[in-house]
A and B are shown apart, each in its own frame.
Chain A
Amino acid sequence: AQKVTQAQTEISVVEKEDVTLDCVYETRDTTYYLFWYKQPPSGELVFLIRRNSFDEQNEISGRYSWNFQKSTSSFNFTITASQVVDSAVYFCALGGGYQKVTFGIGTKLQVIP
């Protein structure tokens, strides 16, 4: 069975601070995909990143960066110099092949001006 754990349910930071959202996953699949989605107050799911289980390279996209470590089954997400517009719920998710995607419960990030 697949499982995604996001231990932080809510985080508050002051604008311009860096913040890391944790994600730990469990799967028996050897090939799997990890995702991060952003859900702003408007409710839609905004795709942020997809990572293949064979690719452990960290990725940076602007103020966003992701640290994938298979040894600890973690796929953490860091926002550098946070902004108020980053306030949202962030979901880590796990998918294997064409199967369903399993979501974590989400981390609600509040960036205070």
Chain B
Amino acid sequence: EPEVTQTPSHQVTQMGQEVILRCVPISNHLYFYWYRQILGQKVEFLVSFYNNEISEKSEIFDDQFSVERPDGSNFTLKIRSTKLEDSAMYFCASSEASLGGDYGYTFGSGTRLTVV
């Protein structure tokens, strides 16, 4: 079964440093998402991306965050200057564009970001 792949699985960074979280969505999917989950809390939407631009973003997704699809396969989340409160599990997801069809969101296994 096709998978969404995320790397690295765990990243430790110092406060103030930039981090890039990487994702390879399922190849025929057109919509891409980032979610995060602070330890012990619910999974929260960050941003959705379609046709090389952001289609929706939450209030969490401030100017410190950016997303990019630098080539035909990768989808990245950059945090410009990490804060302690950015420590969380970050999940990438993708979905196929199918009007009215039965489709779903496939999540990657997550990147655990620890800011120290």
Contacts and interface: CB of A to CB of B under 8 A. Distances in A.
A100 B109 CA distance: 18
Interface stretch (A17-25, A60-68, A74-82, A103-111): A103-111
22 contacts: A31-B100, A37-B107, A43-B109, A44-B109, A44-B110, A45-B107, A45-B109, A47-B104, A50-B103, A91-B42, A93-B43, A95-B105, A98-B48, A98-B50, A98-B95, A99-B56, A100-B33, A100-B45, A100-B48, A101-B45, A103-B42, A105-B42
Contacts of A103: 42-44
A102 B104 contact: no
B43 A47 contact: no
A45 B31 contact: no
B42 A98 contact: no
Nearest to B93: A101
Interface residues of chain B: helix, strand, loop or mixed (majority): strand
A104 B37 CA distance: 12
Contact of A98 (B35, B97, B112): B97
B89 interface: yes
Given A98-B95, A100-B33, A101-B105, A43 B100 contact: no
B42 A45 contact: no
Given A47-B106, A91-B43, A104-B42, 4 more contacts: A35-B105, A37-B107, A100-B56, A101-B93
Interface string B37-54: 000011111001010000
A53 to B, nearest CB: 11
Interface in B79-116: 89, 91, 93, 95, 97, 100, 102-107, 109-110, 112
